[in-house]
Amino acid sequence: MIKEFIPVTEGISALIEPSLAKWKALEEEVFYSRRNSQHRTIKQIIGHMIDSASNNTHRFIHMQYRQSPVEYPNYATQGNNDRWIAIQNYQDEEWNMLLNIWKYANLHIIHVIKNIDPEKLEATWIAGPDAAVSLKEMVVDFLPHFKLHLAEIDELIHRDPEPMHR
C-alpha cells in the first residue's frame, strides 16, 4: 500500500463504526426531517456520501488503466449530485439499508485505495474546464470530503428541532 494513503484508509475506517452507532440511535425526525443549508436531510447527505464513494471508486479504477488525462463524467457539477440524490430517492430508502450501503461502499473504497498501482499516481482526471486532478490528489482529498459531510450530519443531529408552526 502507498504510504501517503495510510492516513486516508485508516481515517475512513476509524470513522465508520462510530458514525453508524450514532446514526442508528437517531430518532426518525432527526434523520428524516432536519435539513442543512443545501436543503438536504441526513438521509440525503448519507446518500450523497454513497454516491461519492461509488463515483470515486470508478474514477480510481479508470485512472489506472485508461490513457491520462481521463475523461469521466463529473457527477458533482451543475447540480448533478442533487439529481443523483433525487433520482435514487435516498429520502425514502429504508434507514438500515441506507446505513449498510454507506458502510460497505466506504469499506470497498478503502480496499480499492489499498490496491492502487503506485505507477499510476500521476494519472489525471479532467474534472472540468481548466481543472485536472491527479489520482494521488483525488485519494488524499477523499478523507477531508468524507469528514466534511460527517460534520454536516453532526451539526444536524445537534441542532435544536424546528419549532412547530400552528
What is the number of alpha carbons within 13 Å of residue 45 lying toward its C-beta?
27
Domain ranges of the chain: 3-158
pLDDT in tens, 126-163: 988 888 999 999 999 999 999 999 999 999 999 876 65
33 pLDDT more than 70 = yes
What is the reported pLDDT for 106?
98
pLDDT tens-digit map of 39-75: 999 999 999 999 999 999 999 999 999 999 999 888 8
User: Interior CA angle at 49 toward 25 and 137, to 5°?
Assistant: 135
Mean pLDDT of 81-99: 96
pLDDT score recorded for residue 79:
73
Q: What is the CATH number of domain 3-158?
A: 1.20.120.450
pLDDT band at 76 (very low <50, low <70, confident <90, very high): confident
The mean pLDDT of 87-107, rounded to a whole number, is 98
Write down the mean pLDDT value for the chain.
Answer: 94
pLDDT of residue 166: 43
Across residues 108-136, what is the average pLDDT? 95
Residues 6+ apart with CB under 8 A from 133: 124, 125, 127, 141
Rounded Cα–Cα distance for residues 59 and 63 (Å): 6
Q: What pLDDT was estimated at residue 137?
A: 97
